[in-house]
Structure 1
Amino acid sequence: MTETLLEIADELYALPPGEFTAARDARAKELKGTDLAAPVKALKKPGIAAWVVNLLVRREAGQVDQLLNVGAALREAQAAMSAGELRTLTKQRRQVTAAVTQMARQHAAEAGHKVTQAVADQVEATLTAAMVDADCGRAVRSGLLVGPLQTTGVDPIGEAALATALAVPEALGFSATAREAPEPGPPDLRVVPDPDAADKARAAAEERRDQAAASYDEAHGAHADAVADVDRLSARSLQLQAELDELRRRVADLESELDEVDDELGDAEDVRDEAAAALRTATAERDAAQAALDKIR
């Protein structure tokens, strides 16, 4: 059976970044003389963030589907204007994207690629876009991203942005084939003396120390950013609470003043009604007196 472009792309985008170009070119060479040779050769190598998301989709299809289901529920709640459910699902969206992003980083690390914070931010933005925009969700589920996605959900992402982020336009609606992490190979039981073992061990320890220091610096920076966000939002919350309290006091004052005005209005209406009655009586008396005078004349 002849393979389709999507099937070939599904296979290629499951590969590590370092193997993609050679494998793509080899497949294009195998297909030389067919209609698929040029489209396969034109497949772009995915960026690191896109590769991490593609890897996640293949390793954790169930988790990705759960993320997309939460996104669909969130969009439905937004359309129905259910405020309580909207708050709950928005909080759940943030929790899910953060958790799944961390899961994606772990899979990338197991595949031999350390994910920087900048790349992790792109991964999380892509997952968030998949939740708030249905087309982004379909693009992510395809496992054929070549670039990250980003959208606020206010407006559709647009065909141009999707086309830039996808390997092939037909990827929308395609689901990546699930793939298990490769099993580690059998251990090499041969014992070969290594004269440089001590130097290698020291170099490995130094590298581990440097990596740990870099991880610490990254974690420290992330913590500082999070603390700053909490401080900023706490200050804003206090400000809004103060403004809300002032508005409540103003409403109470206005309600009290309204009650007083209503009482005065009632009294004024009574006085008006009495004056109107007196006016009618005086009018009648005046007309009667005029009539009597006219009769005498």
Structure 2
Amino acid sequence: MPAQDPTDLDTVVDALYARPLDEFIAARDAAVRQVADGGDRIGAERVKRLPKPSVAAWVINRVARDHPEEIEALADLGDELRAATQDRDRGRLRALDHLRRERTEALVRTVREAGEVGGRTVSSAVLDRLTETLTAAVMDPDAAVVVRAGRLSRALQHVGFGIVDEQGEDADLVALHPAGSDGGQRSARGARAEGAAEAGKSSAGKPTAGKSSAGKPTAGKSSRAGKSSGAAEQAGSDLAAAEQAVEESSALVDRLEARRDDVRERLRTADAAIERGEGELERLDEELERLTAERDETRQVLDDAREAADEARTDLTAVEDDLDDAVERAAEARRRRREARGR
């Protein structure tokens, strides 16, 4: 049997993550045997280590396959955000961040209105994970690659120090990248922006001869230029940090708003349950009061009956004693009559 090449391995992995969630373990074991039989022992070991997706991750993978254009648009939006950050274009950043929210909410709303994905009901908690993962795909190019590929084993979150999974652990994104993808590929806009920035740094950092065009030393000017460049770089660094803080705080607001809505729904459900419980408790209290009165009445009837039974039992004993006496007297009378007849 010929060995499979990396493309074939990726086909196997894609098919595995496209299967129904309940079939994942059996399908993974079959895939390990398939790849091993093809002579790719390393690939087989890689497939063997792939964890079963969480429910949220499976739903997100299906959404990525069902809505590839929307996912691709969000990934491209991430490239534009990074380019705008590099260009320090605040107005563009605000507009792109607003667009990010609109596109994310639109896709989540589509899933919410459908009510299910691949035959599996989608809970509000899973919708929260979907929102967080889509945000992570915008903010991080590695996350975008994995989300587009539909290979998540856990939902993702973008936090201050990078990408973590739904359990708060560091997300291993590279292991899930399709072959041929470096996970950090950027759009042409992002690459050009970063390339221009690097060129600017290279040009600004080249050593000069320390002389003007007239051949005279220019050390003072170079020193002032160096200080000015250093101040500009510091200002740029501060701005980049501030823009990053804007992105992170916006993502946090999105997550908290979604969780707030979920908590509000839980509160409404709990309040309704409390109202039903209080009504039922009031009904039971009334029923208990009625049954208590009925019990007391029955107990009085029982006491009266027991008293009547005791009186009857006493009377019965007296009657039986009188009967015994009467029987003895009757026997004695019959005996005397026989004697009288015999005389």
TM-score (norm 1): 0.52
Aligned ranges for residues 158-197 of structure 1 at < 5 Å? 161-163=170-172, 168=176, 173=181
**Alignment partner, residue 193 of structure 1:** none
CA distance in 1, matches of 2:137, 2:110: 16
Of stretches 86-95 and 29-38 in structure 1, the one that deviates more from structure 2 is 29-38
Structure 1 residue identity aligned to 2:106 = A
**Alignment partner, residue 94 of structure 2:** 87
SS of residue in 2 equivalent to 1:157 = strand
CA shift, 1:49, in A, is 1.6
TM-score (norm 2): 0.46
CA shift, 1:12, in A, is 0.5
CA shift, 1:220, in A, is 6.5
CA distance in 2, matches of 1:108, 1:16: 17
Contact 1:5–1:39 under 8 Å retained in 2: no
**Alignment partner, residue 314 of structure 2:** none
Total equivalences in the alignment: 180
- What RMSD in Å do the two structures reach over aligned CA positions? 3.2
In percent, how many aligned pairs have the same letter? 34
CA distance in 2, matches of 1:108, 1:44: 26
**Alignment partner, residue 12 of structure 1:** 16
**Alignment partner, residue 140 of structure 1:** 147
1:204-225 CA-partner distances (Å, limit 9, x unpaired): xxxxxxxxxxxxx96971898x
CA distance in 2, matches of 1:73, 1:87: 12
Structure 2 residue identity aligned to 1:5 = L
Contact 2:149–2:178 under 8 Å retained in 1: no
Contact 2:145–2:177 under 8 Å retained in 1: no
Contact 2:17–2:150 under 8 Å retained in 1: yes
Contact 1:129–1:137 under 8 Å retained in 2: yes
Change beyond 3 A, Cα 1:135–1:41: closer
CA distance in 1, matches of 2:27, 2:111: 24
CA shift, 1:45, in A, is 0.9
- Alignment partner for residue 221 of structure 1, among 260, 265, 269? 265
Moved over 6 A (4+): 217-220
Structure 2 residue identity aligned to 1:12 = L
**Alignment partner, residue 158 of structure 2:** 151
CA shift, 1:53, in A, is 1.7
| Alignment gaps of 5+ in structure 2 | 184-260, 269-343
**Alignment partner, residue 197 of structure 2:** none
SS of residue in 2 equivalent to 1:150 = strand
Of stretches 100-109 and 73-82 in structure 1, the one that deviates more from structure 2 is 100-109
Contact 2:129–2:155 under 8 Å retained in 1: yes
